[in-house]
Structure 1
């Protein structure tokens, strides 16, 4: 009887899922699976050791090593051959964070507000809402220095705000967190992944 496969933990949600050469249209495409972009995110971007990254993904170290080797080979092949690189994102589970002036109506959403709201979304539904004190407000610190690490600790995939400075954008990107600029929070839109495509919406 085949052993049941352990479900892998995938927290990173790619904002851009297709890459290709600018000088000419790529004739071939290479698919990078979700577990492979997760491995790149954990080891190459966050700088984790293989053993720690494997624990994050809920896989053995040899399994992680095989995933990482495959991911590196695919990225290298795409760069050398000029092929398109397509990320296959199967994750329907993600977390969205925003800073709010209040706990319910979300009237003002800028990084300096007192509360951080984290919505856990799974298969198109909000399964939990977490309300936390914003360290930027409490410590009177800078958003770019405090928020990215805080969001990373809480497995946040997207940060939504009515305004995001360039420094904060870059700091979020370094943690694999995608910024989304919008004037107001509309939960119905946040449930639609088409809303979270890296473009500014009103």
Structure 2
């Protein structure tokens, strides 16, 4: 799942967020069966998502060389061209960022790609949670960090409840934070679309 909270004193937010998690043990070698399966997987994942609804899961191969993958655009991406460009470029970008890795989670502000040598579809894994905070405009200083963090977590919990109850599995909104300084908290919460309704309620 993906969650974020941003605070801003203006409507302009410049997103500089990017994350890549690459496994570093048990790497595959060039020309191995796993690499062949992975190359086929990444090609079919991207093509399937571009042709479909910006989301795709698949697997290639059998046994220890089987590769499992998921790729998706964020439902709030809005710009179809930007989404498709991200889907098309993600496989090559991942291979460059994580050469030899058997498990990768990579994302930017438009799409997410994950693959592994172990099945993970519809399974919650806390290690793949993605969250980030960004500031816009002048740096915002809060006097009570504990109060601010509690407010932010309550806000994200509300987003999660709303996101789990709609077909796009997303919710984004803003609400004011009033303390020594006034600003808006912007947030978004997205569930992976292979999660069932009951899993989203947990």
TM-score by length of 1: 0.27
Q: Structure 1 or 2: larger strand share?
A: 2
